[in-house]
Amino acid sequence: MESHTVAGRLEVICGSMFSGKSEELIRRMRRAEIGKRKTQLFKHCKDNRKTLCHVNAHNGDMLAACPIENSGELEQLLHSDTEVIGIDEIQFFSPEIILLVDRLVTQGKRVIAAGLDLDFRGLPFGCMPVLLALADEILKLKAVCTQSGKDAHFTQRLVNGEPAKHTDPTILVGAQECYEARARECYKIDCKPLDEYLKTHSFAVK
């Protein structure tokens, strides 16, 4: 008798803030529940803008989630019979999350990850570039620029109403009082340190 292995998959939902990433993650998780799949939803505990134990979309939608700090906690809390795993704000996790996600997909799990692909400097955010490369499916969402009304790909951080400096900390959790979605021509940063990013990340093919 032939043995049939269940094929896992990685779906990555990315885009700027206010682009609907959490909303899409909630939608996919609910569809999985309707399909009688056993699901678990996780979020990084750094995202405490509204309620800590929910994934909160900017449209007001929410879904119960388990707040965690690292991939080890996710692995400990994950049930053996869970089929669909959702992870919100995945850009906040350390690189170990990549290894865990890859292992779960290899085990036949469906992993749905949502996060910012670019930080406020316009640079690749944390583990996202690798997850995007490994993904079976990528959905890059666009927000609406608060200045021009055009498609927005960038997240503008504002401090006292002015664009933040590139030397500011990468992680500063907030909502509209700290961030706006901007189109490329409306996005402002004093310096985009792409050269520094490239120096600290190896792209050499050996």
Number of other CB atoms surrounding residue 67 within 10 Å: 19
Beta carbons of 43 and 67 less than 8 angstroms apart: yes
Do strands 143-144 and 151-152 pair parallel, antiparallel, or not at all (unpaired)? antiparallel
Tokens linked to 142: 């666009």
Phi, psi values for residue 143, rounded to 5°: -95, -175
Active-site residue, selected from the candidate residues 23, 89, 177, 180: 89
Decide if 23 is catalytic: no
- Residues with catalytic roles: 89
